[in-house]
Structure 1
Amino acid sequence: MKNPTSQLLVLFFLFLVSGTVIAQNSDRSADNLPAIGDIMSALRNATGWALQDNGIWISSNNTIPNPDADKNKTSEPQNRLGRHNFDIIELHEVMVHGRQHVVMIMKSEKGQYEFSTLRYNWEKTDQIDYYVFQAERLKELMPEEMIPGHTYLTNLSLVTGGTITNYDKHTYLTKISSDIQRAYVQKAKSAKTLLWAMMRTQINGKWVMRFRPIDVFNKKEIYFRYTDP
């Protein structure tokens, strides 16, 4: 199979658009918290590409590999995780003060060495990164008419977002609900935002979507370099 030729793929995942509906308990421990609904759709499989420093492209399932070719030859667990990885990306619905919002949840594998200098005793962790934004932003992520080869970039203008490491599967949605409630009660501006880049293209006769989530501080002087032409 012919490798892609654009360095844009270094930070882009390639995926065939697909959705999966999964049931999940949406009960909350406190009645006054926003109720996060079941999964509306989920992405479980994508192909990540990276151009290595030896000039050879490399790909991995649900992972953007390291650009260091020597690292990719080792079996160390830290290198296996690549630059970015995910297990699943979920979309949930939540109503806040009568307005529809979306909670995007990215579950991934992380970890660290207990003794980093010796690279000894790897400790695996499961991590969640979540992003809450108004539902109308979904239409901007993937316009109905997309010009092939053109990159569409959307600032999701987060209500709030955060990271939960070694999350408890029974309580993490309650933690996210509490954060949403706090953001609205305190009228606090989110410390970060999520930019989402999309491109429709054809590879080996198949139409695919390239996408790149860009997690950045919510300051225009920081993210303007992505949004300015």
Structure 2
Amino acid sequence: MTGAEFIAFLGASVILAVTPGPDTFLTLRFAARSVRAGLVYTAAAGLGVLVWAVLALTGVAALLERFPDVRTGLTWVGGSYLVFLGVTALFQVNRARRGSAAHAPAGEPRLPARSLPMVFRTGLISSLTNPKTGLFFLALLPPFLPASPSAVDHVLLVATVVGCMLVYGAGLSVIAGRVGRYLTGGSGPLIVDGVAGAILVVLGVSLVVL
């Protein structure tokens, strides 16, 4: 791979990382309450992307193109999971607002504590049930691989994609943590949770319908 080809691939990887999608809004949702939770989610999503990349390189992800029913089933699972996460977030926001109104000082709403293992599991499932990631690798990787690719070529491309996602997710987590802490006197986490929850429901329905 030439330097120009790598720069082109790096640009495509950055676009993939920063394009808004389920991972972006889930990162915002978790990181608004805890930067550590956002980082854990980012690591889990990155692991899911790594799995998809390996599947694409080994040809397993090509089954999604050969067998449309498999892709449709996986899409339904992923879309339903996003809807579940969005609805859960909205219910938690509603419950937290009522709880804070009754027991907490104004302007200091609380959310139920989230365990980091749950956050990690959410990130991994969300990433692995998104067939578009596998199809992205099927479309992107082959043009950048030489005629006889070596293990180094594979590792370089996969590391570039995963690295871009991790850097973007980490930066987004830090920003979301600051916004969640200072926005409107401490209610930022609820605002981000509510907006992210609504968007996740829309994304999940769109994934299934479209």
Query: Would you say same fold, with TM above 0.5?
Result: no
Higher relative contact order (CA 8 A, sep 6+): 2
Greater fraction of residues in strand: 1
TM-score (norm 2): 0.25
What TM-score does the superposition give when structure 1 sets the normalisation length? Answer: 0.23
